[in-house]
Amino acid sequence: MGCCVTASRVVIVLFNFLFIIIGLLFIAGGLFLKLGSSVYKGALDSVQASIEKSISDTGGGSVKLNLDLGSVTEPIMFAFIGIGLFLLVICFLGCCGACYKFRVLLILYIIPSILILATEIIVVILFLGAPSVIQTPLASSLKSGIQSDFQDISGTNLVSVAWNIAMQQFKCCGANDYSDFTGASKWNINKYTGSCSGCILKTPLACCMTLPTSSSDVTCASAPTTSTNYLNTGCVKKVWNDYILANQAVIAGGFTGLAVFQV
């Protein structure tokens, strides 16, 4: 009996050592988002420069776009650091409870551990079996932001700059598709149509596969087709397919492995 108790304590300590590493990785990731913006900002500079050139070429004047990455990454940063600190606290309770036989600490450790296990199981189920449960509310929230705040390719507010860069970077249009922009309160569909009398923009210029180089060359947005425009490619599904599903085995395996290890 004594050997089993000792063995269980060793397992708890080893288990918590793993989660200490994971917690520290989350904290490190959060700090990187805060302090290492110059590293990943460089990847966006070329897209931003292309958009600025297209604005100038199509008669929008000289506009300097400045994506405030801090505003975009700050919620993620706090979430990462919060998760990391939470895991470290749980590990502290587990180690102290196991080593010093504190019943209260073990209870405080077991309850959150069960909640974490349940969360991991739910995430794996949704990830593999019902991705729309995640995608649909996310796309709806993003569409709401487009409808209320998106301006145009020369817009300098956070929503406009972020969407223009994202659509060029990920080769997509809107959260669901180009219809997300229909009726957007701040989007001027007559802007940048130049000499095209009677033309209106069906999609933002940033949805064009090749950004326009003159005010008379905006047909990719005023009369878009699937060969000139990403109009039917939603960014939520595009990013999900290209970056999440592409690493499906790794992500699902990681969550499943942690769940099995906890059990």
The Cβ of residue 144 has, within 10 Å, a number of other Cβ atoms equal to 12
Q: Backbone phi, then psi, for 208, in 5-degree steps?
A: -70, 140
d(CA 41, CA 158): 15
Is the Cβ–Cβ distance between 89 and 16 less than 8 Å?
Answer: no
pLDDT(189) > 70: yes
Angle at 58 between CA 52 and CA 59, to 5 degrees: 95
d(CA 172, CA 232): 8
The Cβ of residue 244 has, within 10 Å, a number of other Cβ atoms equal to 14
pLDDT(190) > 70: yes
Average pLDDT over residues 184-196: 78
Per-residue pLDDT of 71-106, as tens digits, reads 667 788 888 888 888 888 888 887 777 777 777 887
Per-residue pLDDT of 231-253, as tens digits, reads 999 999 999 888 877 776 666 66
Amino acid at 61: G
pLDDT in the model for residue 208: 94
In percent, the amount of the chain with pLDDT more than 70 equals 75
pLDDT(206) > 90: yes
Give the confidence band of 154 by pLDDT, cuts at 50, 70, 90: confident
Average pLDDT over residues 53-61: 69
Grouping H, G, I as helix, E, B as strand and the rest as coil, residue 96 is helix
The Cβ of residue 107 has, within 10 Å, a number of other Cβ atoms equal to 11
Domain map of the chain by residue range? 2-262
Give the confidence band of 155 by pLDDT, cuts at 50, 70, 90: confident
Per-residue pLDDT of 109-146, as tens digits, reads 888 878 877 887 787 777 777 788 888 999 999 999 99
d(CA 54, CA 42): 19
Q: Which comes out higher in pLDDT, residue 8 or 5?
A: 8
Residue (of 107, 118, 87) closest to 15 by Cα position: 87
End-to-end CA distance of the chain: 21
Residue (of 139, 163, 140, 141) closest to 150 by Cα position: 163
* Average pLDDT in the chain: 80
pLDDT in the model for residue 104: 82
Angle at 141 between CA 137 and CA 143, to 5 degrees: 115
pLDDT in the model for residue 185: 93
Residue (of 245, 77, 233, 249) closest to 169 by Cα position: 233
Pure H helices in 197-247:
219-222, 235-239
